[in-house]
Amino acid sequence: MSARHESILNHARSRYFWVALALSLASIVAYVWHAPDVGPNGGTWLGYTLGTIAALLIVWLMLFGVRKRSYSGAGGTLRGWLSAHVYLGTSLILIALLHCGFQFGWNLHTFCLVLMLVVIFSGFFGVYSYLRYPTLMTRNRESATRAAMLEEIGELDQNALALADGIDPKIHAIVLRSIQNTRLGGGVFSQLSARDDSDAALASVRAAIAARETQAKATTNPQSGQTIFAMVDFLASGANDRQTEALRKLIDLLSQKKAIATRVARDIQYQAVMEIWLYVHVPLSFGLLAALIGHVVSVFFYW
Amino acid sequence: MRWLIRRVLKQGKGAVSYEEDVHFGDTLTIGRAADQAIFLSDLRAALNHARVSAESGGRYKVESLILAGIRVNGQLTYGIDVGPGATIEIAGTRLVLLDPPRDFDAAVEISTLDKTEQAAEKAKRSKPTTLSQTWIGKRVPSWLLFATILALGLVLPALSHFSAPLAKLLAHSPLPTTRSWNPGPLDAAHRFFGDDCKQCHPRAFLTVRDESCLACHSTIAAHADPGAFNLPALGEARCASCHQDHLGPAGMVRTDQRLCGDCHTNLPARTQNASRLGDATDFGTNHPPFRVRLPAWDANGAFAPQVAVPAAGTRENSGLKFNHEKHLKPDLNTPKGKQTLVCASCHKPDAGGLAMKPIAFETMCHDCHTLGFDTFAPDREVPHAKVAEVSFMLDEFYARRALEGGVEDREAPGFVQTRRRPGDPPLSRQEQTEALAWARDKARKVADSVFTGRACVTCHTVTPPAADRGYRIAPVRVAGVWYDTARFSHNKHETMSCKDCHAAATSPVASDLLIPDIANCRQCHAGARGGGKVASTCIDCHAYHQSTTLKLKTL
């Protein structure tokens, strides 16, 4: 094992890079040498040959989804398969373009090509995210696990409640509200946008609170939608020293919690980004398979 | 107002006991303060957390007293109107509002959630943290896309091939038809029926048959008779072998010389001498010498050209006497003064540009070569016509002169020479007979002179009369199509000068063959590769559908 980290791109001394390169070069040479009198197209013998290679490649590339699910390890390591998947999938762009002889139109055939290109380029994003996000995730977690971070948030919440209870029922209610509003994860877009919702709901209930708390003197501050600002308001409104000290501690605790919550949200975001492309890549590749079947059958239907 | 408060006490091994209490008051307060009707010790509860008040009809009003709100039936709320059975959750305690039993106005059941129940509640409320827990998936969209694309891209159009009503329906809908399979634009001539693929592709999974093409192209000529030439390539050739649509002009008519050259190699051996054509695979390097159609006439006088490869001594028998060299000299003396003739003075291309118009005596030769026959009548000429017409005209001319009198000819009878005046007695029967005899004699002499001495013989070969016939003028054929199987177009060679190909300026006799040979063409033209010359493939000069007797449709 070499000292250098082996990734999907340099697996087995980039074996599949060279395979894909050889395949591409062979296709280019054949294409240039062939030069049929009617112009290069999918209907010449080279067109059929490249088309057959491209179709078999697509089917083989889709078999990666099957190989991924099997743990038997048949036919090489999963990393080897992925490396080959990436490189041969990339060479497919060239082979398909040479197959069609750069003829495009508003038809099923070009639709198939476009679908194939979208699938491949979504795969490029996947390669990018697999190479980039694991590092970012590790750095973001700072050697903790997500479960440990969530547990820490829970403990901080308990401590904050205990502290707040010693200060004032109003502060206690605010902290309680803050705990309830700390929402990590959520829908697809919440996960992708790394929102942790820890204080966001506060502003929306301000009007209701103002109506209920008739004795509240604190003037509304545009920033006081955040728990911390709400407590600073309270500090400014005057309290005794012991309470002030406890409040400072509470603010510390909540800031700490906020930092961890942000990291968890980012962790969720990284994982979501690393997965989201597959939700495009996989369904579109099945669409591509259908378009490919349509392309091949229709071509021979009206031979 | 009487409230029934029932506490559920959990004991070991799942056993449960109840403790009931009565509370008097309009509202039921819940919180961590000591004065609350329902006291909760958990820190997650506020001092005055919530308030429940009973309303008419057995309903309850639940209000949160803090901004964190309370969870009623799993939903966070600040105030809600609920019926019996509603569940309130605060800080690990569950309150179920009940239908009040007899003697009570309201009832509530309180139970404490143990750790596993709390964890389950929390898990139920926690939001998804991975995409696989959200609504998006891969399996359903994959199947949907697969099925939709297969149905719209393949199945529906394919079914419309077999069902005319479906094809009509699809054509009037935004759904894809078989047109979506069209791999490339059709040739302009085919576009008017191009929406109907079945016009050319009547049967699925079969290549386009010749019958489909011949349905419209019914008069197209065959190449050669496959029965006469035992060549598989000839019999197996399909229209689509050379004409592929959907590929633009390059595919519509194949122009590559390989297509012809593959077959036109060693033809005599391959056809058991049925074909005697030489090898032709590349115009520049491998092409037989040109054959020309030399003018000739059969026994009946019909034009029957002889096709031959010109050799060094090959003469052209056009039937005309003509000296190109003399006519092309500058400043010729003509009746109209000095004139310089050029090729185009006599050789004018026909409207199609392929060949030259026939030479016309009246417009091209007559200015200099007049057909006068009598010095006493210098403005009279014989017609440029058949021998009989010339003789007839001379007979008439001299008969009239003889009967009129006043002929200046010493050999004529005296009364013919005498000019007759008005009032003179008419010629007697005897005189008339003598005058006409002289006229006939004179006409014959003049005809002899015209045919053999002065006019006709200048350009034509004249055979003197024999016992059974009169003068004979040899037939003439100057302009025409010279090459046997190729098409040469003067039109396309306009940039050239005539003398570049025809050595007319040094040709003293018309029997010089002035038609160029292949070496002349090869000065500019080469095969498909061209090199430094004009790249020329077979169909630049030859046609494939060239049979004059066979139609493709009848093969």
B170 touches chain A (CB under 8 A): no
Confidence at residue A207, expressed as pLDDT on a 0 to 100 scale: 36
Please state the length of chain B. 555
Say if residues B363 and B403 touch (Cβ distance below 8 Å).
Answer: no
Instruction: Give A197→chain B minimum CA distance, Å.
Output: 11
Domain presence at residue B45? yes
SS3 labels along B392-428: HHHHHHHHHHHHHECCCCCCCCHHHHCECCCCCCCCC
Q: Hey, are the CB atoms on B138 and A282 less than 8 Å from each other?
A: yes
B253 touches chain A (CB under 8 A): no
Nearest by Cα to B449 from B396, B373, B371: B373
CA distances from A302 to A153, A293, B252 (A): 66, 14, 17
Question: Domain locations in chain A?
Answer: 15-142+276-301, 146-273
Dig out the tokens for B400 from the structure: 């009239």
Domain presence at residue B55? yes
Dig out the tokens for A122 from the structure: 């979504």
Q: Which residues of chain B have pLDDT under 70?
A: none
Residues B60 and B39: their CA atoms lie apart, in Å, by 19
Residue A152 host element (H or E): helix A146-165
Helix A146-165 and helix A241-276: axis angle, to 10°?
160
The Cβ of residue A205 has, within 10 Å, a number of other Cβ atoms equal to: 19
* Chain A residues close to B143, C-beta within 8 Å: 286
Domain presence at residue B221? no
Q: Hey, are the CB atoms on B244 and A38 less than 8 Å from each other?
A: yes
Mean pLDDT of each 10-residue bin along chain A, 303 residues long: 67 88 96 88 93 96 88 77 93 96 94 97 95 90 85 85 77 77 78 65 38 42 55 62 74 81 89 92 96 96 89
A-proximal residues of B, 29-48, CB under 8 Å: 32, 43-44, 46-48
Give the mutation candidate from A191, A301, A303 for the B interface (greatest B CB count, under 10 A).
A301
Residues B441 and B435: their CA atoms lie apart, in Å, by 10
Of B69, B141, B182, the CB nearest to A107: B182
B138 touches chain A (CB under 8 A): yes
Domain presence at residue B197? no
Residue B51 host element (H or E): strand B50-54
Dig out the tokens for B73 from the structure: 């039936």
Confidence at residue A235, expressed as pLDDT on a 0 to 100 scale: 62
Residues B405 and B421: their CA atoms lie apart, in Å, by 10
Reduced to 3 states (helix: H, G, I; strand: E, B; else coil), residue A274 is helix
Q: State the ipTM, two decimals.
A: 0.85
Residues B452 and B458: their CA atoms lie apart, in Å, by 9
For B280, half-sphere exposure in the C-beta direction (CA atoms, 13 angstrom radius) is 22
Reduced to 3 states (helix: H, G, I; strand: E, B; else coil), residue A256 is helix
Domain presence at residue B156? no
Confidence at residue A2, expressed as pLDDT on a 0 to 100 scale: 45
Number of domains comprising chain B: 2
CATH number for the domain harbouring residue B56 = 2.60.200.20
Say if residues B305 and B295 touch (Cβ distance below 8 Å).
Answer: yes
Give phi and psi for B163, each to the nearest 5. -120, 110
Nearest by Cα to B449 from B467, B466, B462, B435: B462
The residue among B404, B430, B454 that closes a domain is: B454
B68 touches chain A (CB under 8 A): yes
Say if residues B316 and B507 touch (Cβ distance below 8 Å).
Answer: no
Say if residues B86 and B104 touch (Cβ distance below 8 Å).
Answer: no
Write out the residue range of the structural domain in which residue B383 sits.
370-454
What sign does the CA torsion over B291, B293, B294, B300 have?
positive
Instruction: Give A3→chain B minimum CA distance, Å.
Output: 34
